[in-house]
Chain A
C-alpha cells in the first residue's frame, strides 16, 4: 500500500502547487500544504477521494451533457412520444457495482489511516502535554517537566508529541491545519491525539467548535523547533525564577503593581498550576497578545485596560481594580521582560 500511497504524495505535490499558483492558502495555516504527520495522512485521503469523486462527476457530466444536447426538444421539432422504457437490468447493475468498488478503494485506506492516527502505544516514552481549552485561550502543561505555558506550544520537530486534552468549560476543538486534523476538547473526558511536525515553523492553531462570542478569537500557535533547541528551551523554562526582580524602574513598579492588583489571583509565572488565566512565564516571547493582536506594548496596554473590548465574554474582565493608563503601561513593561529562554519563535525559522 505504501507504494501507491507514494504516488498520491506526488499528486499531493501537484495539487498544492496548483493551489499555490492560484494564490490559495497560507503556508503555516493551510491543510493543503501539510507540514506534519496527521496533515499528510489527511491530505492523502483528501486527494484520493477527490480524484475518485471527480472521476464520478466527469461521468455524470458526460451523460448529462449528452442527454441535454441530444434529447432536448429543438425549436420547431415535432412532438413525438418516446418509447416508454421500464428499466435495464444490465445498466442498473453496472451503476450499482462500480460505485461499490470505488467506495472500497476509499474505505480501505480510510480505515487504515484512522487506526494509524489513533495509535497511542508509544505515548509513555514520548513528550506528553496536557492541553486545557478555556473560553478563549489554551493552557499547556508539559507533563513531568514542571513547565506550564499558554497560547504558544513549543514542540520538537520529527517527534511524536502526545496531547491529552480536556476542557474547563464548554466544548472546544484543537485544530492546527498544517500539522494535523482537529480533535474536540470535551469537559467530561480526556481525548488523546499525537502531533508530529516535519519542519521547524510557527503554525497557526484555531478553535474549531463554537464556544461563545469570542470563538473566532481563540487562536494559538505551535512553535516547532529542532530537538536540540527544544531541549535548550526546556532547560531555560525549568530554570525560571518567578521571583526574579524586573530590570528598570518602570518595570519594577510594574511588577509590584502586578502583584498588588490581584493579577496573580488568576495568572501564574513559573510552573505553579494556577489555571484561571493564562500562565505568563514566557510572556515576553509570545507571538501574539491574547492569541490575536500583534505583540507590542500598545496592544498589551489596551488589553489590560479593557480586555472585554478585544475578546468579548472573556473571564479577565472586571476581576481586578481599575488601572490607569500609566499603571497599565508599567505592568506592560514588566510583562514584556518575561523572556526566560533564548529559544523563541524566531528560532523556528519564520
Chain B
C-alpha cells in the first residue's frame, strides 16, 4: 500500500530532491507529464513575456535606442516563436494531459512512452532554440521566417530556429497522435462519441489538425534546412527557386496551427460555462459539428495570410469568402455559450472570470477577423499593427485566457490544492485591463500607418501617444503574471486542500481523488449519458457505477529512454548547425544520433511488459 501511495502522490509527499527529479525524468504517467508541460511551458511563457516587454519598452517612444535594430528583430522573432511553439502549445498539452484521460474514464493514455517522448522532444527543441541567445545570436527573420530573408540571414540564428522547431515539432506531432489514439480507443464503456465532454471532443479534433498540419511544417523546415546548410536553392529565385513556396508551406501549417491553439480552449470554455451555470451545454451536437467545421475550414484558408502577395483577384476572392465562412460556426459557438448560461445559476470564481472575459475579447478578435478577411480592406491591415492587435485578441483572448481558466479550474485536480481566489481575481482584472489597454489602440496605430515588426518609428507621425499607451498596458499584464506566479508558490505552500469535486462538476475527472491515484480509476466507470457525474448526482448516488469488478490493474513502467533519445537529438542538433563551419562537427552529429538510435534499439529489443497493481493492494486503498 505504501508503495502505491508514494508513487501516486509524489508531488505532495516530502521526498528527496533527487528522487523527485528521477521520478519526473522517467515518468510515463500522463498526470506528471502534465506537470512537466505546465512548468516548462510556463517557463517559456515567462521568457516570451520578457521578450514582449523588451519590445514594448523599445517602442515606448519614437527613435528609441533601447534595443539596436538587429537585436530588436531577434527579440521579436523569439517572442513570436516562443509564445506559439514553446508556451501556448505545451500549456495546452498540459491541460490535455491533465484532463483528457480522466474525462473519458481511462486509466492511462494509449502510448505512455510516446507521450513522454513527445514532451522531452518539445523541451529539448525549445532549449536548442533558446541556446541561440548565448551562441552568437537568435533567429531574426520573424516567427514566419519568410525566405529569402531567412535563407540569407547571417550567423546561425535561423539554423537554431530550423533545428529547434524541427525537434519540438516532432514532439508535438507524436503527442497529438497519442491523444488521437487515446480518445478513439480508451473511452470507458458507455462513453460514446456523442457523450464525450466538449474539451475531449475538441482535443480529438485538434489532434487531427496536428496530424495533418505539422507534416507541412516538417517539410518546410527540411527544405529551409537544406537551403541554409547545403545551398539547395528551393527558395532562391536566382537559382530558379521560388520564395513564395515557403509562404504557402508555412501557412498550410500555420493557419491550422492557430486553430490548434484555439479549439481545445473552445472545448474547455464549453465545459466551464456548463459547470458554473449548472446546466448542460446548449446545442451540444451543434457545438461538435461547429468544431469540426471550423477545423475543416481552417485548412482551406491559409492564403488569407497572403492577400498582398499578388496571387490575383480570383484566388484572393475565394480565400476571402472561405475565411468569412468560419465566422458562422464560431458565431454559433458564442451564442450557444450564452444560451448555456441563460436560465442557469452562474457562479463567478476566478476560473469562470477568465471564461467570461473571453467572450467579449474573443468576439472583438473574431470581428476584426472578418474585417481582415475582406481582401481590399486587408490591403491596408496586412502586416500593420491592426493585424498585431487582431491576432493578440484571438490568441491571448482565446488561448491565454483559456489556459488561465483551465489552470484555475483543474489546479485542484492536478495538485490537490485550490489556487488562492483573491490573487486569482487580481490577476484576472489587471490582465484584462492591461490587455485591452495594450492591444485595442493598436488597431488604430495600424490604420494610422504603423507597419508591423518595426524596431522604431519616427516622431511627428502621429504614432507616439498610441505606442505609449500600449506600453503602459503591457506593464499591467506583466504585473498580473507576477501575481499569478506568486499565487502558485503561495498555493503550493499554504493553499487550501482540494476535495475530489470542488466545483460541483459534471464530468468524470471530478469523480476521482484530487490529485488522482496514478491508475486514475480503481474501477473503470460505466457511462450512462452526457455529463456522467451529474447524472449520478441527480439520481442521488453521487458515485459512479463501475463497469467492471475490482481486479488487477496493468500499468506501464517508468523509463529514462524518452529523455535520452531526446537528449541525443539535442546533441546532434548542434552538430547539424555547426558542421557548416567545420566538418569536425559531424562527429557530434554521429554521437548524438548514436545515442538516439541506440536508445531506440534498446527500446525495441528489451521486453518491458509493465507491472500490475494487485487487487489486494487496491482493496486496502481508501476511496
Binding site for B on A (CB under 8 A): 19, 23-26, 29-32, 38-39, 41-43, 45-46, 48-50, 53-54, 56-57, 60-61, 63-64, 67-68, 71-73, 77, 79-88, 91-92, 95-96, 99-100, 103, 106-107, 110-111, 113-115, 117-118, 169-171, 173, 175, 177-178, 180-184, 186-189, 191, 204, 206-217, 219, 292, 312-313
Contacts and interface: CB of A to CB of B under 8 A. Distances in A.
B559 interface: no
A171 B148 contact: yes
Main secondary structure of the interface of B (DSSP, over half): helix
A26 B238 CA distance: 40
B236 to A, nearest CB: 8
B69 interface: yes
- Nearest 10 CB-CB pairings of A with B: A181-B379, A188-B237, A26-B462, A191-B310, A53-B367, A216-B454, A29-B449, A118-B313, A45-B377, A87-B283
Given A114-B320, A115-B317, A57 B383 contact: no
B153 to A, nearest CB: 8
Contacts of B69: 213-217, 312-313
A37 B101 CA distance: 57
B455 A213 contact: yes
Nearest to A209: B383
A110 B484 CA distance: 44
Contacts of B341: 67, 71
Contacts of B458: 219, 292
A42 B379 contact: yes
B546 interface: no
Contacts of A32: 447-448
B242 A114 contact: no
A31 B380 contact: yes
A110 B238 CA distance: 36
A9 to B, nearest CB: 15
A159 to B, nearest CB: 20
A92 B332 contact: yes
Contacts of B364: 57
Contacts of B453: 210, 215-216
B316 A114 contact: yes
Contacts of A31: 380, 447-449
23 contacts: A38-B379, A46-B380, A71-B344, A82-B279, A82-B345, A85-B343, A92-B286, A95-B335, A99-B327, A110-B377, A115-B313, A170-B146, A173-B383, A177-B447, A183-B308, A186-B309, A209-B383, A212-B73, A215-B69, A216-B69, A216-B455, A217-B456, A312-B68
A110 B374 contact: yes
Contacts of A25: 444, 447-449, 462
B599 interface: no
Contacts, number: 291
Nearest to A47: B377
Interface residues of B, number: 91
Interface of B: 68-70, 73, 140-142, 146, 148-149, 152, 237-238, 241-244, 277-280, 282-286, 308-310, 312-313, 316-317, 320-321, 324-325, 327-328, 331-332, 334-336, 338-339, 341-348, 356, 359-360, 363-364, 367-368, 370-371, 374-380, 382-384, 444, 447-449, 451-458, 460-462, 465-466, 538
Nearest to A185: B310
Nearest to A66: B342
A136 B331 CA distance: 43
A43 to B, nearest CB: 8
A82 B379 contact: no
A56 to B, nearest CB: 7
A231 B320 CA distance: 40
